[in-house]
C-alpha cells in the first residue's frame, strides 16, 4: 500500500506488466498478488497449521487469535501468514508460500495440504482489469497528492494521460471533456476572478478556500441571491473531490477565487457596474477574469479598452459569446463584451461536442462545455444543472488558470497558448474558434 501511495504510476506499470497482454486479450484476470493460498485437507487442519509453524515458527497468525474481532493489518504486522481456521485455508507471503511448495512427497505437510495456489486479484464482473487498475492508480495518485497538499505543488509536464482514467472517480462531462480530471495542475497561486451575481459563502464545498470579494451593486452584499454566480464559480474553481457521491465539477480547484458582484440578485447590471468589477479584478492582478454575461451592440470602446488595459496588466478576460442563436437556422452575433477584440470570446458545446443550438457565432476564439453543466448553487439546494455560454466560459477560465500556473504565461501569451492547446473540432471557426478548450496535462 505504501508503495502505491508513494509511486502509483510505477506501481501501475508493474501491475499492468504482470497482467500481461494475453491475459487482457482473453478477458482473464490472472493477476497474481505474489501470495499463496494453502487449502488444508478437512481432516488435517491442525496438522497443516503445525506444518506451517514448522515452516515459519512464530510468524503464522490464526483467525482464532483475533477472538471474533475484525482481522486488521495492524494485527497482522510481522506475520508471514494467516490461517483461517473456520475455512481451512491459509494465506502465506511469497517466501513462505514457496517454502510450503517445497515440502517433499510423503511428508506430513504434503498430506495436510490439498492445494497450494497463487492468490489473484479479483475484479468486478464486466470490468476490464487494465482499466480498473488505471482507475485504481489514479485514485492512489489523488490520495498521495492530497496527503502531500501544502507543500510543493506545481511540477513539470505530465505524462499525458490520453484516456480519462480517473473518470472512475466521477467527473462531470465538462470536466472530462476539457481533461481537467487528468491534469497535474490545480490553479495554485493563480487568481481567478468571476464577475457575476456573487457567490454563496455558506457553500460547504468552498470552506477553507481563499475568497476575496466585493460588491459593485449598490445596497447588495456579495452573497449570491441569484445562483448564476455560484454556478460559474463552481465550474471555474470548485473542489477536486466534493464530499459525498458528487462528481468533480470544478477545474482550478486550488486557484485563489475573486468574486466581483457586478450583477444584482435578479441578474441585472449595467456597463458601469461591470466595468467597476473589471477595474477591481485588474487592480488585484487577477491572471484570469471570467465574465459569463453579455449584452447587445458593440463592440464598445470601453470594453475594448478595458480588455487592453487588462492585458497590459497581465490579466486575460474570457467572456461568454451569448445565447441568442437558434441553430441551425438562426446564428446571432457575439455579444459585448465578448465581441471586443481584446477579450476572448467563448462559445458553448453540447455533450456530443456539437455547437450548442443557442451559442452565438462571430469572432469566437475558444469553446467549452456549456449544455447540461452540473455545478454548485446556493444552499440549501447545493447543486444544479444549468445550460448556456455562461457555463462554457468558466470551463475555459479554469483551464486558463491551470495553464497560467503551469507555464507562467500571462495575457496575450496565455491566450495564444490556450488556443494552441485547444482540441480542434470539425466545426466552423466562427462557431468554435480554435476548438474545445483543454487543460494542460
Partner 1 sequence: MVSAKPISSRRNSGYHAAMADPVEYIVTLAPGAAAAAVADALRAKGFSATSVLAELAMLVGTADPDTVEACKSIDGVTALEPSQPIQLPPGDPQ
Of the pair 181, 340, the CB lying nearest partner 1 is at 340
Least distance CB 293 / partner 1 (angstroms): 6
β-strands 256-261, 211-215: how paired? Answer: parallel
Q: Report the nearest approach of partner 1 to the CB of residue 272 (Å).
A: 5
51, 359, 390, 434: which one is catalytic? 390
- For 273, residues 6+ apart whose C-beta sits below 8 A from its C-beta are 216, 217, 262, 263
Calpha distance 115→289 (Å, rounded): 66
Q: Rounded to an integer, what distance in angstroms lies between the CA atom of residue 212 and that of residue 311? A: 21
Residue 432 near residue 347 (C-beta atoms within 8 A): yes
CA distances to 2, 67, 84, 98 from 91, rounded to whole Å, are 20, 18, 8, 12
Judged by beta carbon, residue 135 or residue 307, the one nearer partner 1 is: 307
- CB-based burial of residue 269 (10 Å sphere; 0-12 exposed, 13-18 middle, 19+ buried)? buried
To the query of whether residue 228 is one of the catalytic residues in this protein, the response is yes
Q: What are phi and psi of 337, to 5 degrees?
A: -90, 0
| C-beta closer to partner 1: residue 110 or 372 | 372
Catalytic residue among 203, 213, 226, 228: 228
* Least distance in angstroms from the C-beta of 428 to partner 1: 20
Q: Which residues bind partner 1 (CB under 8 A)?
A: 197, 226, 228, 263, 267-272, 274-276, 278-279, 282-283, 292-297, 300-302, 305-306, 309-310, 313, 322-324, 335-336, 348, 356, 358, 370-371, 386-391
Q: Which residues pair with 385 in a beta bridge?
A: 374
Rounded Cα gap, residues 108 and 52, in angstroms: 11
Query: Residue 9 or 350: which CB sits closer to partner 1?
Result: 350
Radius of gyration over alpha carbons of the chain, in Å? 28
- Are 179 and 41 in contact by the 8 Å Cβ rule? The answer is no
Contact 366, 341 (CB under 8 A): no
Name the minimum Å distance from CB 395 to partner 1: 14
By beta-carbon proximity to partner 1, the closer residue of 183 and 360 is 360
How does DSSP assign 204-219, residue by residue? GGGTT--EEEEE-STT
Q: Active site includes 390?
A: yes
- C-beta of residue 381 within 8 angstroms of C-beta of residue 398: no
Question: Considering the complex, what minimum distance in angstroms separates the CB of residue 348 from partner 1?
Answer: 8
Among the listed residues 93, 196, 224, 431, the single catalytic one is 196
Closer to partner 1 by Cβ: residue 138 or 396:
396
Minimum separation from the CB atom of position 269 to partner 1 (A): 5
Q: Which residues are catalytic?
A: 196, 228, 390
Amino acid at each position: 500500500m505504501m508503495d502505491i501511495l508513494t509511486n502509483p504510476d510505477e506501481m501501475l506499470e508493474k501491475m499492468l506488466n504482470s497482467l500481461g497482454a494475453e491475459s487482457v486479450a482473453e478477458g482473464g484476470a490472472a493477476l497474481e498478488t505474489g501470495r499463496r493460498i494453502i487449502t488444508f485437507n478437512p481432516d488435517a487442519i491442525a496438522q497443516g497449521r503445525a506444518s506451517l509453524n514448522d515452516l515459519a515458527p512464530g510468524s503464522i497468525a490464526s483467525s482464532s487469535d483475533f477472538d471474533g474481532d475484525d482481522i486488521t493489518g495492524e494485527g497482522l504486522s510481522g506475520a508471514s501468514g494467516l490461517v483461517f481456521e473456520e475455512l481451512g485455508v491459509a494465506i502465506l507471503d511469497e517466501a513462505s508460500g514457496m517454502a510450503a511448495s517445497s515440502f517433499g512427497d510423503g511428508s506430513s505437510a504434503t498430506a495436510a495440504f490439498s492445494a497450494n495456489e497463487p492468490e489473484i486479484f479479483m475484479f468486478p464482473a464486466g470490468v476490464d482489469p487494465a482499466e480498473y487498475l488505471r482507475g485504481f492508480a489514479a485514485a492512489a495518485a489523488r490520495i498521495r497528492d492530497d496527503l502531500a497538499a501544502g507543500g510543493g505543488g506545481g511540477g513539470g509536464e505530465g505524462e499525458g494521460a490520453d484516456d480519462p482514467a480517473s473518470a472512475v472517480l466521477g467527473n462531470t462531462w465538462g470536466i472530462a471533456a476539457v481533461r481537467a480530471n487528468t491534469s497535474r495542475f490545480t490553479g495554485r497561486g493563480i487568481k481567478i476572478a468571476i464577475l457575476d451575481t456573487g457567490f454563496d459563502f455558506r457553500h460547504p464545498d468552498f470552506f477553507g478556500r481563499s475568497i476575496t470579494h466585493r460588491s459593485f451593486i449598490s445596497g447588495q452584499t456579495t452573497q449570491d441571491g441569484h445562483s448564476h454566480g455560484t454556478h460559474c464559480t463552481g465550474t471555474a474553481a470548485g473542489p477536486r473531490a466534493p464530499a459525498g457521491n458528487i462528481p468533480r465539477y470544478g477545474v482550478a480547484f486550488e486557484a485563489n477565487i475573486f468574486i466581483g458582484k457586478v450583477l444584482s440578485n435578479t441578474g441585472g447590471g449595467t456597463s458601469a457596474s461591470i466595468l467597476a468589477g473589471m477595474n477591481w479584478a485588474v487592480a488585484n492582478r487577477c491572471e484570469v477574469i471570467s465574465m459569463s454575461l453579455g449584452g447587445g451592440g458593440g463592440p464598445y470602446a470601453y470594453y475594448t479598452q478595458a480588455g487592453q488595459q487588462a492585458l497590459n496588466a497581465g490579466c486575460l478576460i474570457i467572456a461568454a459569446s451569448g445565447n441568442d442563436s437558434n441553430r441551425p437556422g438562426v446564428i446571432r452575433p457575439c455579444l459585448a463584451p465578448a465581441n471586443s477584440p481584446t477579450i476572448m470570446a467563448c462559445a458553448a458545446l453540447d455533450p456530443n461536442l456539437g455547437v450548442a443550438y443557442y451559442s452565438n457565432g462571430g469572432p469566437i476564439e475558444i469553446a467549452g462545455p456549456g449544455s447540461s453543466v452540473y455545478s454548485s448553487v446556493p444552499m440549501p439546494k447545493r447543486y444544479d444543472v444549468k445550460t448556456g455560454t455562461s457555463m462554457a466560459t468558466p470551463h475555459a477560465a479554469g483551464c486558463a488558470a491551470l495553464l497560467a500556473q503551469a507555464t507562467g504565461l500571462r495575457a496575450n501569451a496565455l491566450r495564444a497558448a490556450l488556443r494552441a492547446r485547444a482540441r480542434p473540432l470539425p466545426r466552423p471557426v466562427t462557431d468554435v474558434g480554435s476548438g474545445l478548450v483543454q487543460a494542460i496535462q
